[in-house]
Every structure is written in C-alpha cells, then in structure tokens.
Structure 1
Amino acid sequence: MVPAIPRRLLFVNYSLEMGGIETLLLELSRAMMAGERYRPGVCVFEAGGKLQKEFEAIDVPVHVIQKQRSRDYLLPFRLRGLIRREGYDLVHAHNQVAWLYGGLGALFAGRPLIYTEHTSLEKFQTARQKHLKTALRLLGRKTGLVTTVARHLIPSLEQDIGIPSARIRNIYNGIDPGPYHIDIDREQKLRELGLPLDSRVVGIVASLTEAKDHATLLRAFAGVLQQVPEARLLIVGEGPLEAGMRQLADTLAIAGHVHFLGVRRDIPELLQLFDVFTLSSLIEGLPISLLEAMASACPVVATRIPGVDELVSEEAGILVPHSSSGQQAAALVRVLTEDGLAERLGQGGRDRVLQQFSFDAMIRGYLSCYDDVLRGTER
C-alpha cells in the first residue's frame, strides 16, 4: 500500500514558458493541490518563465537550477541535492532533456522516476538524436514507468530507447472543457484587438519555431485573402522565428492582415473569436492548443501528421498534407465560406473532446502511475 499522503512529487521540465507541456503541468498541479494524495513542486532549467507566477499563486514551489550551455555535467548532482533537501518522494520528467538531467538527479538521490514523452526525438538534429538515444537507453532501464501523450510515440521508445512495452502507458492529454464553453461580445473583442468588425478570423496558437511551420501558413493565408479579402490571421505565441515570419508577411504583401499577438492569457476568448483554428505543424505530440480549440467548438484545419490524426476525426476538422500551402488555403476557404460546415465541424470537435479526451481521465491515469511506481519501490 502507498503510505499516508500527501507524497511529494517533483516535475522536471526545461522551462515554464508558455507552451503545451507547461500548461499541462499547471493544470495537473492545480488538480493535485485540490486533492490529498500528492503535493507537487516544479524544477526548471531556465528562470523567468511566463507561467512561473501562476504556479506560485497556487502554492506550488518553483525551483530554478540554471543549466549551463551545451552539456552540464554538474546539473544532475544539483538536482540530487534539491530532491534530498526538499524531501521529494518521486520525480516526473517531461521530454528528453529533462529526462536526461532530471532522471540522473532522481537516480543519484535514490528516488523513483517517471518519464513522459511529448514529442519524438525527430525534433533534434541527427547527431544530437544519436547522443540522446545512447544516454536514454541506459537511463530507460532505471525508469519506473514511461508514458506517452499519443500512441504514435510508442514505437520509437520501444525500438530506439529499448523500453519494454510493459513499462509504457499511453495517457492522452485531457482538458476541462468548461472554461472554453463561454460567450463573448464579438464586436467588443474585435475592437480590443483593433480589427474591423467584418473580419473573418483565422487563428493559430503555437510557438514560432520550425516545427510549427508558420511559413506555410502565411503562404496559405495569402491564398485565402484572394477569395476572402476580409480575412485576418491572428498568430498567438512567440519564438525565435517571429522576426522572420514578420518579414515573410511583408514579402507576401499580407502584413496588414496578419497580427502577431505574442503570448496571451485570454485564449478561451480568442478561440470564441476565431472563425477557424489552424495548425501547420510538421511534428507534434498531442497538441494542447488543438484540444482547446475543439473544446471551444471552433472548427479546425490542421496538418495530417502523427498525433494530430489521433485527435482530429473527419467529423471534427479537415486535415491536409503538411507543407502544402495550397491545400491548407483551400480548406480554410471552405470552412470560411461553405454554409453549415464550420458549425458542423465545431460541434464534432467538442463532442470528441468530451467523449475521448477528458481531463479527469488524464488525471486518473497519472495518479495511477505514481501510485504504482511508489508501490513497486516499497515492496
């Protein structure tokens, strides 16, 4: 039996910048703080993340251990000190770099370890992939359980990292649909953003990185404007490619219709404003922003890639090949102009979230993993 609770759980992630993993950790922490079984803390390798204050506001301690550039051989030992000093019973690492450093820290501290794979190693350059695979194959032998946010991530863990299937569980990202089922004053929101009242709004919520491929979306939107001249593209998020995307919008002569909003905390309101939500990603795990859009009954146009195709059914959205600006533009125009299509897809997406991607099921899945790993160490 797992002894008297609460037990102390340490999440390890690279940062607390705005993103899908960070949002997931915040919601997991909120749920745990409302219960009695676990008390979470968070350790990150970069200071100043935009979500740090939100963790602190719900009394979840945030520990920053600044990572040195390139390889930081002392970081696992500093993590070991934190884990022992603060009395954490269990470590849960998220994505590969946190698994490497957080996992070693947990093992050096003699604490059990759980790892969650959110995206595959494909996001790294080939040489980095090779080094990580070698290190993680060794670390994987000592990891109590590995979870994935989408089933397409499982084969790589089995084949490349050598994790036995018996130690892998898929736990789909889940979402509480309540905050996304709201009414807004559309005209007021448009005025707040400085948009014309007749705007047809295409929106994306994604970091401006290569994996999200905003360049293809901008080219697609140029095609949308030829048929829907009142269209506006709202880009929510920030990242290293923002300056380049602004320049591309200028080059395509669409800058007057493209609005870079940066990081926002009014996502539920924006999703109600969007006439269509879109993703142009090349690689994903199971995107939280897409779940949020579907929970908002916002119709979806996204790329047909692993993870997205597990989430979006034919009733919930339109999937197009990645890197195809022409097909993405055609799908966006369909949703903006075809009678009844947007409403039908939006309702289909919300129904799918309610039926298959519930927040409660996700929470139960993770709590079950923690209980099982702790039982295994206490036999």
Structure 2
Amino acid sequence: MTDLPRDLNRRFLGDIHSALEGASKERVKSVGLPLLSQSSVLPPNPAHLRELLRDGGFDIIHAHHAFTPTPLFSILLANELETPTVLTNHSVSFAYDYSPFWQPLAKFLYPYKELINSVDRVIAVSEAAAIFIGHFVSGEKISVIPNPVHEDYFETGETDSRNRTSRGKTVLYVGRLSREKGVHKLPSILKTVSEEFSDVQLIIAGSGYLSKFIDLTAKLKGIRNKVRMLGKVSREGSLPSLYERADAVVVPSLREAFSITLLEAMASGCPVVASRVGGMKEIIKDGHSGVLVGGKASDFADALLRVLSDPSLSKELGWNARKVASKCRPRKIAEQVEEVYRDVAASRNTSP
C-alpha cells in the first residue's frame, strides 16, 4: 500500500494512521510518510483518536474498511470536527448482491447505516464492493476505484521464462489460509494436476487456520512432497520473485471484493486461474487475460492443465494480463483518488 500514499503525498501532505506492522510499517516510513499504528479490528482509544484528528489539521479524513471499529470511530469524530470524510470499502459479504436480504438488514442496522451514509464520498474497490456498500450508503456518493498494484511486480521477468521445459511446473497460491479463500480445494486440485504433470509443485505463500488441514490432506492424497508451505511472505520482499517463477497462479476464493493477489500476478505477467466471483470477474476477461472457473476443484484442475499444457496460451494470457494490470499502477490510481478529494473539498466549500 506504500506506492499510493507516496503518490498522493506528492500532491498533498498527509499522515497514515494504520494497522501496518513489520516490513510494511518500515516501508511506509522509508518513503517519508508519518505513520501511527492502530489495529483496525480492535476498538481505538477514543480520546487518543480524537486528539489525533483534532490536532492534525486535516483537510480530509480518509478511512479504510467500512466494517471495523477504527474507521467507524474516525467517521464519527470527523463529523464532530466537521471535517470532510472519504471511506474506502474493500469487502463484500455473503450474498452481497441479493437485495431482498440486505435491504431489510440495512434498515435493522439503522444507526450504522446513518453513520456510513454521513461520509462525503465512498470509494469501492470494485463494482461488487460498490453493490455491497450501496445497501448502506446513497449510490451517488460511490466511486469505483481499484486498488493499486506495487510497481515491483511490473519489473519482474518476461513471460517467456515461464515456458522453460527443463524444470517442473510451479503453481502458486498467495493469501490467507482460510475457508473463504477456497484453500481447502488446493490438495484436490494438485492431486489431479499431478496425474499429468508428475513433477508439478504447489507453492503456498500465506498463513491461517487451515494450514494443518492442507498439510494433512496433502499427506493423505500422497502429494505432500509436491507442496511447499512458506508461511506468510512479505509483499515488499520475496513475493515478486515467487510470481516470476510461477507457471500459473490459482485464486480459488469463495467470495472476493478485489483480489490483490490476482492483480499482482497479472502485473507480473503470470497466467491466473481464478473463481468467477465478485471483483475478479470484473478484472479478468475469461480466456484473454486469465481463466475464470466455477467453484469445483475439478474446474480449477482442468483449467490449470490447459494453461500448463499450452505455452502459447500461457504466454498470451500473461501478456494480456499485464496490460490490464497496468491500469492499476499507483500513479494512475492516485490521480483518481485525488479527483475524489478535490470533489469533496469543492462540494464542502460551495455548501451553504
């Protein structure tokens, strides 16, 4: 997330109040941006947050994640301070596009809906995220602006290097090891692929409560020797090189507002096989810049076999994917966010 604040900071002066830790935290500091850490999940200290927002002299307060305590407190306090607010929604929930379910539920959550609807503008990272947040906020306030992808991923090697026949095939998964990410399907997917590519390897970069499940299931299927579980890998560290080495990236999520993994892989020129859900079906044109499939493990396995078996298709998917991802370079996204800021500032200045 460092490139976007850095590009915005070239236009504005700002602070980041974030839940970043470790390498990501240090990277934000390294580009010269003030950073104060705060978990977005745990409730903040209201007095501390009020002091921060009051004394910061901010022209606009931009909160991220609509359904966690710190952004909600920030909106509430911004209203007290009469400071313009922008909120970015990064998520979708179960049946996000099923209005008969969410419209009555949003009315039941009236106080929450009123708070969300009090912001000046909402940025949704995809049309799917816009549909979901639209149950809680007026549609005219919503702008769809995708997440940016780090410049490092565009600097990886050319897609030709993936078509070497002197090594086995490598399939990469990056993300949390949790059910909504569909990772419980990975052992079955790998088992089928390995029947045609005996030297295939699945690299898993991520951590989560399904780690032991994947390990045990892979052992039961007799493919544990084909799985490398790396744990959490820094996006600012060795992750770009993993994408560069991969012959395909698999994204089997059950729901997804906008997949950073998907965009990173595409920027790296790596063929992607992804679920036909949420924001991913907005980014990928099936058969052109990636492959979209249904939810079954067999669907993913069949698609991976097609990509791994056809170097020409793999190369074409990679080239087209990189072109699509180039629309999400940080500078381009920063320009769109800047336009939202200027619209918000102008509307406040012209209000009676």
TM-score bin, normalised by smaller chain: 0.7 to 0.9
**Identity, % of aligned pairs?**
25
Partners in 2 of 1:365 and 1:113 — Cα distance? Answer: 16
Within-5 A mapping of 1:87-236: 87-96=57-66, 97=68, 98-122=70-94, 133-158=109-134, 160-161=135-136, 163-175=137-149, 179-183=153-157, 198-236=167-205
Structure 1 pair 140/338, CA: closer, same or farther in 2 (3 Å)?
Answer: same
Residue identity in the other structure for 1:168: I
User: Cα deviations across residues 43-90 of structure 1 (Å, max 9, x unaligned)?
Assistant: 23x574541111111222221245785xx4x64443221112333332
Is the aligned partner of 1:309 residue 2:291?
no
Deviations 1:87-136 (A, max 9, x none): 33321111121432221232233321101111124399x99x87994443
2:26 is the alignment partner of 1:60: no
Deviation at 1:174, TM superposition (A): 3.6
Q: Distance in 1 between matches of 2:157 and 2:290?
A: 22
Q: Structure 1 240/103 Cα, relative in aligned 2: closer, same or farther at 3 Å?
A: farther
> What do the CA deviations read for 1:148-194 (whole angstroms, capped 9, x no partner)?
11112223323x21x2222111112343667424339x99xxxxxxx
Whole-angstrom CA distance in 2 between matches of 1:201 and 1:234: 7
Q: How many residues are matched?
A: 335
Q: Please tell me the residue identity of whatever aligns with 1:232.
A: Q
1:240 CA drift (Å): 3.3
Q: Deviations over 1:295-342 (max 9, x none)?
A: 2211111111021110011211111112x1011111111111124221
User: Partners in 1 of 2:111 and 2:36 — Cα distance?
Assistant: 25
TM-score, normalised via structure 1 length: 0.79
| Cα 1:346–1:131 shift into 2, 3 Å | same
Partner residue in 2 for 1:261: 230
Matched residue SS, 1:116: strand
> Given residue 366 of structure 1, which amino acid in structure 2 is its aligned partner?
V
Give 1:147 shift: 1.0
Q: Tell me, yes or no, if structure 1 residue 279 matches structure 2 residue 251.
A: yes
Q: What CA deviation, in whole Å up to 9, does each residue of 1:192-245 have, x standing for no partner?
A: xxxxx7221001121222221111122211111111111001111223332333
Structure 1, unmatched stretches of 5+, are 1-22, 188-196
- Give the structure 2 partner of residue 378 of structure 1: 349
Q: What is the rounded CA distance, in whole Å, between the counterparts of 1:109 and 1:347 in structure 2?
A: 48
Residues 122 and 143, structure 2, Cα contact 8 Å, conserved in 1: yes
How far apart in 1 are the matches of 2:58 and 2:331? Answer: 25
Q: What is the deviation of 1:246?
A: 2.4
Q: Which has the higher contact order (CA 8 A, sep 6+)?
A: 2
TM-score (norm. length: structure 2): 0.85
- 1: CA distance between counterparts of 2:257 and 2:30? 28
Distance change (3 Å), C-alpha of 1:145 and 1:332 = same
SS in 1 for 2:207: coil
Task: Identify which of 18, 36, 41 aligns with 2:15.
Answer: 41
What is the SS of the residue equivalent to 1:235?
Answer: strand
Q: Distance in 2 between matches of 1:108 and 1:358?
A: 35
Instruction: Decide whether aligned partners of structure 1 residues 49 and 102 sit closer, same or farther in structure 2, where only a CA change above 3 A counts.
Output: farther
Question: SS of 1:224's equivalent?
Answer: helix
**CA-atom RMSD, angstroms?**
3.0
Paired with 2:83 and 2:108, the residues of 1 have a C-alpha distance of: 22
